[in-house]
């Protein structure tokens, strides 16, 4: 159980930082449209699918992968909407919610 949680957290850090391409990071916000006009929802969806893919692979559950994709999209949308405030506070709340989801996925996986 702890090994799975550790892998999910590792994959989250990987997908949120080095794997997230600059173009995704700069185009995924619906509040700050990219000058290129690239659709924010495509960038945010791609970012969310990457996270969901990691969860699905590590957990062995397509359903948890789909749940992660959806929840990750919603959390990041809300963050860009200013729902968590701004600056470090927003980033900390965003990351806490994402890690909380990993705890929930492990709980579902091991106690179903």
Model's pTM, two decimal places?
A: 0.93
User: Phi and psi dihedrals of 55, rounded to 5?
Assistant: -65, -45
Q: Work out the pLDDT band at 96, boundaries 50, 70, 90.
A: very high
* Burial (CB count within 10 angstroms: exposed 0-12, middle 13-18, buried 19+), residue 79: buried
pLDDT reported for residue 105: 98
pLDDT reported for residue 48: 98
Q: What is the pLDDT of residues 58-94, one digit of tens each?
A: 999 999 999 999 999 999 999 999 899 899 999 999 9
pLDDT reported for residue 23: 86
């Amino acid at each position: 159980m702890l090994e799975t949680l550790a892998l999910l957290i590792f994959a989250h850090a990987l997908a949120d930082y080095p794997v997230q391409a600059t173009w995704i990071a700069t185009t995924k916000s619906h509040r700050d449209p990219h000058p290129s006009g690239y659709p924010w929802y495509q960038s945010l969806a791609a970012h969310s699918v990457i996270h969901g893919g990691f969860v699905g692979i590590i957990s062995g559950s397509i359903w948890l992968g789909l749940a992660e994709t959806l929840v990750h999209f919603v959390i990041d949308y809300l963050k860009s909407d200013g729902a968590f405030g701004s600056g470090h506070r927003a980033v900390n709340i965003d990351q806490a919610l994402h890690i909380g989801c990993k705890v929930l996925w492990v709980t579902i996986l091991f106690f179903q």
